[in-house]
Amino acid sequence: MATRITASGQLTVPKPMRDTLQLAPGDLVEFQLNGNGEVVLRKAPLPPQERRHRAEHEHPHLEEQMRRSAEEFTELLRGLD
């Protein structure tokens, strides 16, 4: 999957990759160069300060719920009738 780098050095991570890595807006990512000269992209752990902040201000299932598809929400809502 190819993506273009903007003039400011930004790039878009393709949706299938974001889904696989469970990336959401605001998440941190790490770039690592391996021995073959290839770049590895992975989801970075949150710094301890951010982990505490999120734990204090977010419901434990909020992130999971935000990642649900529209179809999943529709099914959940239909079950409330």
Kindly report the pTM of this predicted structure.
Answer: 0.53
Model confidence at 10: pLDDT above 90: yes
Query: Quick one: which of 63, 28, 57 has its CA closest to 42?
Result: 28
Tell me the domains of the chain and their CATH numbers.
13-45 (2.10.260.10), 46-81 (no CATH)
What are the φ/ψ torsions at residue 73 (nearest 5 degrees)?
Answer: -65, -40
pLDDT tens digits, one per residue of 28-68:
999 999 999 999 999 998 777 665 555 555 566 666 666 66
pLDDT given at position 50: 64
Cα 69 to Cα 16: distance, rounded to the nearest angstrom: 14
> In terms of pLDDT, which residue wins out, 2 or 77?
2
pLDDT given at position 8: 95
pLDDT given at position 12: 92
Distances from the Cα of 19 to the Cα of 5, 31, 48, 63, angstroms:
20, 17, 24, 13
